[in-house]
Amino acid sequence: MNCLVVLAHPLENSLCRYFADETIEHLKSKGYEVTVKDLYQEAFDPVLTRSERQSYYENRFDASSLNTEITQLRAVESLVLIFPTWWFGFPAILKGWFDRVWAPGYAYNHASDLGAITPCLDNLKEVNVVTTLGSPWWVDVLVLWKPVHRVLKIALLGPCTKRCRFRMLSFYKSENASQTRVAKFVDKIRSSF
């Protein structure tokens, strides 16, 4: 299966990077063809440009500076997102990747009456997510109702894909992670993906 792993963490020695390395190794062992997109290492510009935004409802979205990224997204069957959850949201660079690359005409189509959008990412069969959080699980789950999970599954994948399998693994209290907890989480990644 053709797989794109998108990593969004600025530090090369981060827990996210470690989880990414372990996930990539696991996917390759399962026969996945893996391409890695490290948004920070590539210095991806998360800022939606004026021409891109102006073209959102035109006949054609201005993808002139995003051809590689859009081609990557449209070609994959499996997408893996690995990032820290900051303030119960995405890192800005990852949010910008969604804003710019998941574009009209490529990830979805606008309805002619500006009603519900229709999906274009028919190729995408599965999305797997690994995220780290500093908070305990109960704050994310019971207090905030898993906002990142809801945005990914309902607001992004819901309108852009058809029958796409979604799995999200969250590593809580990441600032004081023991080697034992990290190893158990890696085992969870291997058994889930």
Q: What is the pLDDT of residue 112?
A: 82
Q: What is the pLDDT of residue 113?
A: 84
State residue 81 phi and psi, 5-degree precision.
-110, 130
β partners of residue 83: 131
Residue-number span of the structural domain to which 182 is assigned: 2-192
Q: How far is residue 62's CA from residue 59's CA, in Å, rounded to a whole number?
A: 10
Q: How far is residue 65's CA from residue 86's CA, in Å, rounded to a whole number?
A: 28
CATH of the domain at 12: 3.40.50.360
If we measure between CA atoms, which residue out of 42, 189, 191, 44 comes closest to residue 130?
Answer: 189
**DSSP label at 107?**
T
Domain count, the chain: 1
Q: What is the pLDDT of residue 142?
A: 93
Rg (the chain; Cα; Å): 17
pLDDT, tens digit, 9 for 90 and up, residues 28-66: 999 999 999 999 999 999 999 999 999 999 989 999 999
pLDDT, tens digit, 9 for 90 and up, residues 102-160: 999 999 999 888 888 999 999 999 999 999 999 999 999 999 999 999 999 999 999 99
Q: What is the pLDDT of residue 114?
A: 80
Q: How far is residue 155's CA from residue 149's CA, in Å, rounded to a whole number?
A: 10
Q: What is the DSSP string of 9-60?
A: -S-TTSHHHHHHHHHHHHHHHTT-EEEEEETTTTT---PPPHHHHHTTTSSS
If we measure between CA atoms, which residue out of 148, 169, 168, 151 comes closest to residue 160?
Answer: 151
